[in-house]
Amino acid sequence: MKRAFVAILQRDLQIAFRRVSELANPLLFFIIVASLFPLAVSPDSEHLRSIGSGVLWVVALLSSLLALEGLFRADAEDGSLEQLMLSPVPLGVAVLAKVTAHWLVTIVPLVVLTPVLALSFSLPVGVLPVMAFALLLATPTLSVLVALGAALTLGLRRGGAIVGLLVLPLTAPLLIFGTRAIDLGLYGESAVAPLYLLAALAALAVSLGPVAIAAALRVGVE
Amino acid sequence: MLRAEDVAIWRGDRCLFESLNFELKSGQLALLVGPNGAGKTSLLRVLAGLASPTAGRVLWQGTPVDALPPELRGAIAYRGHLDGLKKDLTVAENLHFYAAIWGGSADLSLLPELKLEAQTHTRARYLSAGQRRRAALVSLRVVASRLWILDEPMTNLDTDGRATVVRWTAQHLASGGCAIVATHQPQEFERPGALVIEL
């Protein structure tokens, strides 16, 4: 099972690196939208600092949505999804491998980039580690949620917008705990509690999510 | 090995077929024939466990195909209209992937038999439809399943490719496997003892 997990992970990474342009899209979207805010709202650093963490979180949510809403579409179109379903590998394991691969190539760069963008919102440097850590804990949950949306809308021709409608309301806890962690960091207080909650959500999503996604895929392919 | 009991498939409010019963034994070939829209593909997907029948059940060695434990599932191979190849991977990489997932090793020496040796390191994106179908057939040999479910395997193949499909199927049956093939040219597979299922 481990061998199969590694094989699927490797395959998806290999494909992703052969299609770098698609890989860059969500990242560029993230950079551009986040840089529009200082232009549109006000360049006043006091003002930017107060909206910064919220804006970055929302834009990160939207970029992940963009990055993962088509997670299963290519596989469904070329038949490799139905082959995975018929393979001796439990579908949940295959799903987890795919989500992990896409999290690594699309979401991790985004997490790395966030502290840089945070500086343009005049967020103090001291809060950046908390922000990166919160994002690192929240994005696995987010990826699983978006993958579930992608699996549920597999049969639809234009699934993108519906994935957003399905998934974004469910991301509210991530947003609340994520921005809370940064606010606590801003006030110089310990941000451990919201980070623990994000970690708990991630554990829940990564363990139960693949089973739900696999079930949704079976319905979608039928 | 494979048994269909009272299988019925409905598409919306239209019945494609009802009370279909057959049993496929080791070494036996079943040919599925019928006009377009008769439900050949639907039946094959049900037999492979990708879809559930509206009524009845399909058993592989006594277990319903849609509830097979993972170790038994590899015994059934399905090749439908989609080739199951990743377009951004080369033929060899695709075959190695199949080998890694199904267990076993990718035998690249099969490629010359289908005249694909020059395309071994070509990405599937740059293959012709016929070449992709050939690569899909090689992947079928890589996974070493007992039951082959083939949906119009001759599509896009030239005379030579068709002959290989027939030869490989015969070898597969001779080694104790069984196969069910949907085709519009059943005479190509002409074989004593073959079961013909007409929809």
Summarised one tens digit per residue, pLDDT across range B149-159 is 999 999 999 99
- CB atoms near residue A169 (< 10 Å): 8
pLDDT at B73 over 80: yes
Residue B47 sits in the same domain as residue B94: no
Does residue B150 belong to any structural domain of this protein? yes
Q: pLDDT > 90: what percent of chain B?
A: 69
Residues in A closer than 8 angstroms to B104, CB to CB, are none
Does residue B44 belong to any structural domain of this protein? yes
CA–CA dist A176, A201 (Å, integer): 12
Residue B35 sits in the same domain as residue B7: yes
Do A214 and A91 touch, CB atoms closer than 8 A? yes
Do B38 and B16 touch, CB atoms closer than 8 A? yes
Q: Which residue shows structure tokens 């392919």?
A: A221
CA–CA dist B178, B30 (Å, integer): 8
Task: Write out the two tokens for A75.
Answer: 């596989």
Do B187 and B33 touch, CB atoms closer than 8 A? no
Q: Nearest by CB to A78, which of B50, B86, B97?
A: B86
Question: CA nearest B88 in A: which residue?
Answer: A15
Task: Report angle CA A168, A103, B125 to the nearest 5 degrees.
Answer: 110
Task: Report angle CA B111, B112, B114 to the nearest 5 degrees.
Answer: 70
Domain CATH number, residue B18: 3.40.50.300
Residue B99 sits in the same domain as residue B186: no
Residue B69 sits in the same domain as residue B150: yes
Does residue B80 belong to any structural domain of this protein? no
Residue B1 sits in the same domain as residue B71: yes
CA–CA dist B174, A115 (Å, integer): 64
CB under 8 Å to B121, separation ≥6 — which residues?
B90, B91, B92
Does residue B68 belong to any structural domain of this protein? yes
Give me the pLDDT at residue A104, please: 95
Residue B14 sits in the same domain as residue B55: yes
Residue B150 sits in the same domain as residue B52: yes
Residues in A closer than 8 angstroms to B49, CB to CB, are 86
Pick the last residue of a domain from B143, B165, B188. B143
Tell me the shortest Cα–Cα distance from A161 to chain B, in angstroms.
26
Question: CA nearest A79 in B: which residue?
Answer: B84
Residue B199 sits in the same domain as residue B119: no
CA–CA dist B72, B64 (Å, integer): 11
Stretch 87-116 of chain B: residues touching chain A, C-beta under 8 Å: 87-89, 93, 97-98, 100-103
Give me the sheet containing B178-182, strands edge to edge: B76-79, B147-151, B178-182, B29-33, B195-198
Residues in A closer than 8 angstroms to B71, CB to CB, are 88
Residue B138 sits in the same domain as residue B152: no
CA–CA dist B87, A147 (Å, integer): 22
Query: Is the Cβ of A221 closer than 8 Å to some Cβ of chain B?
Result: yes
Q: Nearest by CB to A78, which of B52, B87, B97?
A: B87
Per the structure, how many domains does chain B have?
2
CB contact under 8 A, A79 and B73: no
Tell me the shortest Cα–Cα distance from A70 to chain B, in angstroms.
15
Query: Is the Cβ of A21 closer than 8 Å to some Cβ of chain B?
Result: no
CB under 8 Å to A203, separation ≥6 — which residues?
none
Local confidence pLDDT in tens for the 222 residues of chain A:
888 999 999 999 999 999 888 888 999 999 999 999 888 888 888 888 888 889 999 999 999 998 888 899 999 999 999 999 999 999 999 999 999 999 999 999 999 999 889 988 889 998 999 999 999 999 999 999 999 999 999 888 777 788 989 999 999 999 999 999 998 988 888 989 999 999 999 999 999 999 999 999 999 887
Burial of B171 (C-beta count, 10 Å sphere; 0-12/13-18/19+): exposed
CB under 8 Å to A218, separation ≥6 — which residues?
A85, A91
CB contact under 8 A, B89 and A15: yes
Which residue, B93, B125, B120, is CA-closest to B109? Answer: B120
CB contact under 8 A, A7 and B101: yes
Residue B113 sits in the same domain as residue B156: no
Residues in B closer than 8 angstroms to A4, CB to CB, are 100-101
Query: Is the Cβ of B69 closer than 8 Å to some Cβ of chain A?
Result: no
Residue B172 sits in the same domain as residue B154: yes
Residue B68 sits in the same domain as residue B101: no
Q: Nearest by CB to A15, which of B76, B86, B101?
A: B86
> What mean pLDDT, rounded, does chain B reach?
91
Interface test mutation site (partner B, options A72, A84, A86, max chain B beta carbons within 10 A): A86
Alpha helices in chain B (DSSP H): 40-48, 70-73, 91-102, 129-143, 159-174
Query: Is the Cβ of A11 closer than 8 Å to some Cβ of chain B?
Result: yes
- Cα B68 from chain centre: 18
Q: What is the mean pLDDT of residues B64-77?
A: 88
CA–CA dist A157, A127 (Å, integer): 42
For chain B, the distance separating the N- and C-terminal CA atoms, rounded to the nearest angstrom, is 21
State which residues form the domain around B169. Answer: 1-75+145-199
Residues in B closer than 8 angstroms to A83, CB to CB, are 78, 84, 98
pLDDT at B172 over 90: yes
